[in-house]
Amino acid sequence: MTATPSASTGAFKERREEFMKGIQGGAALFASAPTAVRNMDVEFEYRQDSDLYYLTGFEEPSCLAVLVPDHPQHRFVMFVQPRDDSAEVWTGKRAGVEGAISDYGADAAFTIDKLDQELPGLLAKADRIYYRFGANSDADSRVVRLMRYFQRERQRKGAGPAAVIDPAGLLHEARLVKSASELETLRRAVDITCKGHAAARSVIKPGVYEYEIDAELRYVYAKYGSPRHAFPPIVASGVNSTTLHYTSNRRQLQKGELLLIDSGAEYGYFAGDVTRTYPADGVFSKEQAELYELVLAAEEAGIEAVRPGARFVDPHNRAVQILTEGLVRLGLLKGEVSSLIEKEEFKRFYMHRTSHWLGMDVHDVGMYTIGDESRKLEPGMVLTIEPGLYVSAYDQQVEPRYRGIGIRIEDDVLVTADGRDVLSSGLPRAISDIERTMRV
């Protein structure tokens, strides 16, 4: 189903070993994502926590992975749901403790109800615990109880964990720079995303409902093996395109409007994230084209600014410069470009950032700033470039012909040794290419 190698032998083990090199003397705990009730007996679709998946490949809920690099026998221990024939009739086969060892490479495994019994002994010799609070409140409370226990133990025995440290500094830095096999999976997620977008584009016409476009995305993603969206798709017609995270997707597209599609497939736990904006009738109006060309120029300048050694903030600064110059040229902003940028006046029309990291999480992990400096880009990092312009339908200060227009163009860009690779470049974005593809 996924392009990632098998759990016990492949990339997961390598990732664990690499991570464990950085936590010697300590131990790390990774909890599964919690389940959530949707209504009555129905739960929200389950997706494993990205960190836990990255290190184990394990997709079941109610699991805790423990890494103790200096433990003489049990460096990787899993606590999992027990095998249970009657529960498995309803929800499918579980790995159980046997599967955790044979299929996922654990040195030892216990059922999750043995946690309080087994965990203190496993961690007794560690001097610190790596754990990230905030994603699973049950696991959070357990860690607090555990540390309370070790406070007393330390007093008596003079040893044991004395601190809880966020593993992000090590683990998320590793996730930020993608390996060759991770890039292969991410490229596949972006390819499927582009296939979905192309299918969605082909059904655009006045009268179509946003949910019909949404359905094309869902169908094509699923058809090519994507188990789920990377985030709820944004299919925003007309004035909805000025709502940045519009997801209700219920409106009917009208003649003369734009349709903004921001969507990504997930594949092998990696996310695509691409945005295109199309004219309902296959041809941009004058005002739409003016704003579109501006966003496209900002995007191209942003993409050009991606290269090793450039700062993360450089594409954003380039995009803001070009957008602000253009807004002045078109009369939507008045004044000196430098002062409009300094006072952030452009935020009336461009209120979000140009980039975020892309990976297992659509807004992926990894630091954006190191010390006081915007981070330097390195080969293997992937980021989006996604400038936009959003003119409120109610903005009395702009000419009525521009009101209610929302445009975003978003591509997924890999930093390479000598520059960049636009992973989503197969999906047309120049006006002439869009108009041509919409004619056929």
Looking at the annotation, which residues are catalytic? 41, 245, 262, 273, 352, 356, 363, 386, 390, 408, 410
The distance of closest approach from Cβ of residue 299 to ligand GLY in the complex, given in angstroms and rounded to an integer, is 13
Give the C-alpha separation, 142 to 125, whole Å.
19
Question: Cβ closer to Mn ion: 81 or 263?
Answer: 263
Structure tokens at 386: 């996604």
Question: Cβ closer to Mn ion: 303 or 398?
Answer: 303
The distance of closest approach from Cβ of residue 434 to Mn ion in the complex, given in angstroms and rounded to an integer, is 18
Give the C-alpha separation, 198 to 428, whole Å.
9
CA geometry: angle at 92 spanning 113 and 37, to 5°?
A: 70
The distance of closest approach from Cβ of residue 281 to ligand GLY in the complex, given in angstroms and rounded to an integer, is 26
Structure tokens at 286: 């004058």
Question: Cβ closer to Mn ion: 318 or 408?
Answer: 408
- List phi, psi (to 5°) of 407: -135, 135
**In angstroms, how far is CA 139 from the centroid of its own chain?**
23
Instruction: Name the strand (E) or helix (H) holding 200.
Output: helix 180-202
Question: Cβ closer to ligand GLY: 210 or 262?
Answer: 262
Instruction: Name the strand (E) or helix (H) holding 270.
Output: strand 270-271
- List phi, psi (to 5°) of 20: -65, -30
12's contact among ligand GLY, Mn ion, none, with CB below 5 to 8 A by partner kind, is: none
300's contact among ligand GLY, Mn ion, none, with CB below 5 to 8 A by partner kind, is: none
The distance of closest approach from Cβ of residue 355 to ligand GLY in the complex, given in angstroms and rounded to an integer, is 9
The distance of closest approach from Cβ of residue 114 to ligand GLY in the complex, given in angstroms and rounded to an integer, is 40
Q: In 10 A of CB 300, how many CB atoms?
A: 19
Q: Enter the DSSP assignment of 240.
A: G
231's contact among Mn ion, ligand GLY, none, with CB below 5 to 8 A by partner kind, is: ligand GLY
Residue nearest to ligand GLY (CB): 262
The distance of closest approach from Cβ of residue 266 to ligand GLY in the complex, given in angstroms and rounded to an integer, is 12
Structural contact between residues 366 and 357, judged by C-beta atoms closer than 8 angstroms: yes
Question: For the purposes of burial, counting CB atoms within 10 Å of the CB of 106, is it exposed (0-12), middle (13-18) or buried (19 or more)?
Answer: buried
Question: Cβ closer to ligand GLY: 122 or 365?
Answer: 365
The distance of closest approach from Cβ of residue 229 to ligand GLY in the complex, given in angstroms and rounded to an integer, is 10
Give the C-alpha separation, 375 to 313, whole Å.
8
| Residues at the contact surface with Mn ion, assessed by CB under 5 A | 262, 273, 384, 410
Question: Cβ closer to ligand GLY: 221 or 231?
Answer: 231
Question: Cβ closer to ligand GLY: 154 or 353?
Answer: 353
Give the C-alpha separation, 252 to 357, whole Å.
33
Residues 6+ apart with CB under 8 A from 286: none
214's contact among ligand GLY, Mn ion, none, with CB below 5 to 8 A by partner kind, is: none
Per the rule left: phi > 0, alpha: psi between -120 and 50, beta: everything else, 287 is alpha
> At which residue do the structure tokens 């919409």 appear?
438
Question: Cβ closer to Mn ion: 32 or 384?
Answer: 384
- List phi, psi (to 5°) of 379: -55, 140
Residues 6+ apart with CB under 8 A from 15: 54, 55, 174
Give the C-alpha separation, 151 to 61, whole Å.
29
| Residues at the contact surface with ligand GLY, assessed by CB under 6 A | 231, 262, 273, 356, 386, 410
The distance of closest approach from Cβ of residue 244 to ligand GLY in the complex, given in angstroms and rounded to an integer, is 8
Picking from 282, 254, 276, the residue whose alpha carbon sits closest to that of residue 406 is 276
CA geometry: angle at 221 spanning 217 and 224, to 5°?
A: 145
